[in-house]
Structure 1
């Protein structure tokens, strides 16, 4: 379906969560949460176990009623979209289907219920690489194949928005690489991707933006590189030398900040590796290691959520 033929319910594809709160008895699963997901970008939704990610996604899809706040897609609640399957594709868990039904027939049943042509089933299977398994029964599918079938079902209506909860579960390395390319390609078309995952190294490769929550509250949001670059230690140079005291003194004379990791390794901030090397040469200090360390998403995530993860 071309953009010109899309239902008005598709809107711009922008997701806006504003003041979203969910209280379960004495537990506040989501606490005054606000963030925006922009079209044309992949947004990673990150948080420790129990942070409230799945509850937030369920409220966004009107599967759970918020205690307070709003969540809209293209300016409208999911429940108010006139043609939701053509607007939003969602996978909150590995696809479930009748164990005796084939992958193709499972998708054809969804097409029939949604008023879509049966041919969309084969198109979606091809899109996720499941054509060779189209006539296999669901009971014979691996977890990774079930994940792909779930995404195929989400893509039947050619939606402008994809919302996925842990889509890489059960995928092998090739499958994860395929998933990354698929989602990036989807966003490149100007569509919106919101994906929750615990695979932080993969999210650093996949996501343009991240929303990090803990204990139901927003911790940090923004472009991935901006979030990583916002950490206090930033880029550091890792140095190993048998003359640590002499090198530390020489570096501090050059206004560098020098710390230690507790195992005799120097961590130098405020100076790049070539300058550290030249300083060591001038001080006649022997070097055994000189490495530039850049913060990664996993380290930033652990630092931002330290002490905030809890079983609630």
Structure 2
């Protein structure tokens, strides 16, 4: 919109359309399109060099696209009036003057952005850093710097939060805190876009995923839907003292069988009932028969295999 105010119909929605970035001989992002909906946590996933950070930087007007558009609430970031009130972003661990305290760092940002001074205290409390408010930045751990960066992003109470690898430097308790914090923001109707390599954590955190490789879209959608689309990757874990006989019986069903290295067999191409029937017909004793559904890490590796762009 020309006045820099987001349209109510688009409030909080991120739309990337035909986005491309060419650096001389390297196409970092290639005709990329996806949508991030409000009220949900969206995981932005891809191998190293996939173009995730470049995409986020184009979204935040830090890099100029070669082609295509990226909008937040129907408006380019550069055209938003009071952008800190619309979008909070952390693309790397917070940086600040090493001699400045955490609370003073946030107060400086508030003053520059025309935000009430008390927002610094509120944001610091929101991320659990109140006890460290008067500690100097040089004494902050990497995890504390991550929290301080998120506090800075939340100063304007934005509708949209964009984070690049926010769990870096966090211990398990910090990661669990981060999960609850981001889920809580989404529950409030905010839009949360998170880039991360921690795929097991993203399966717990994200409602939707956008998976890219070599700058191109590979898959997008709700996590459950993306996992469900890979049913061909489902396997059955079997333990038996008659492994050779079971392998012979399953080959007649055109199943693929391989050892898991821990004394069990992994069977693909047939479901658990079929394995059970084959074992019963061959009078094979089973000690375990467990269906294994693909998790996000396995689906990610299957979808991006051979598509990573080594730069």
When normalised by structure 1's length, the TM-score is 0.91
Which stretch shows the higher mean deviation, 100-109 or 222-231? 222-231
- Is the alpha carbon distance of 1:106 and 1:65 closer, same or farther for their aligned partners in structure 2, counting shifts above 3 Å? same
Equivalence for 2:136: 137
Equivalence for 1:151: 150
Equivalence for 2:159: 160
Structure 2 matches for 1:98-113, cutoff 5 A?
Answer: 98-113=97-112
Deviation at 1:113, TM superposition (A): 0.6
- Paired with 2:139 and 2:301, the residues of 1 have a C-alpha distance of 38
Equivalence for 1:216: 215
Asked whether the equivalents of residues 23 and 29 of structure 1 are also in contact (C-alpha less than 8 Å), the reply is: yes
In the comparison of the two structures, how many residue pairs are matched? 303
Deviation at 1:203, TM superposition (A): 0.3
Q: Write the deviation string for residues 133-183 of structure 1: whole angstroms up to 9, x where unpaired.
A: 000000000000000000000000000000000000000000000000000
- Paired with 1:238 and 1:160, the residues of 2 have a C-alpha distance of 45
Deviation at 1:252, TM superposition (A): 7.0
Asked whether the equivalents of residues 7 and 74 of structure 2 are also in contact (C-alpha less than 8 Å), the reply is: no
* 1:259 aligns to 2:220 (yes or no): no
Deviation at 1:307, TM superposition (A): 1.3
Question: The residue matched to 2:183 in structure 1 has which SS?
Answer: helix
Asked whether the equivalents of residues 244 and 266 of structure 1 are also in contact (C-alpha less than 8 Å), the reply is: no
- Paired with 1:10 and 1:200, the residues of 2 have a C-alpha distance of 34
Deviation at 1:9, TM superposition (A): 3.4
Q: Write the deviation string for residues 7-56 of structure 1: whole angstroms up to 9, x where unpaired.
A: 94385100000000001111111000000000011000001111100000
Structure 2 matches for 1:118-137, cutoff 5 A?
Answer: 118-137=117-136
Question: The residue matched to 1:95 in structure 2 has which SS?
Answer: coil
Unaligned 5+ residue runs, structure 2? none
Equivalence for 1:241: 240
Equivalence for 2:85: 86
Equivalence for 1:228: 227
Question: The residue matched to 1:286 in structure 2 has which SS?
Answer: coil
Asked whether the equivalents of residues 272 and 289 of structure 2 are also in contact (C-alpha less than 8 Å), the reply is: no
Equivalence for 1:4: none
- Is the alpha carbon distance of 1:49 and 1:268 closer, same or farther for their aligned partners in structure 2, counting shifts above 3 Å? closer
Equivalence for 2:14: 15
Asked whether the equivalents of residues 258 and 266 of structure 1 are also in contact (C-alpha less than 8 Å), the reply is: no
Q: Write the deviation string for residues 50-91 of structure 1: whole angstroms up to 9, x where unpaired.
A: 110000000000000000000000000000101200000000
- Paired with 1:278 and 1:286, the residues of 2 have a C-alpha distance of 12
Unaligned 5+ residue runs, structure 1? 1-6
Alpha-carbon RMSD: 2.0
Equivalence for 1:73: 72
- Paired with 2:45 and 2:280, the residues of 1 have a C-alpha distance of 44
Equivalence for 1:34: 33
Q: Write the deviation string for residues 236-295 of structure 1: whole angstroms up to 9, x where unpaired.
A: 211132434543565577xx652112567240444336x644653453212243222110
Asked whether the equivalents of residues 10 and 87 of structure 1 are also in contact (C-alpha less than 8 Å), the reply is: no
Asked whether the equivalents of residues 235 and 295 of structure 1 are also in contact (C-alpha less than 8 Å), the reply is: yes
- Paired with 1:59 and 1:46, the residues of 2 have a C-alpha distance of 16
Equivalence for 2:60: 61
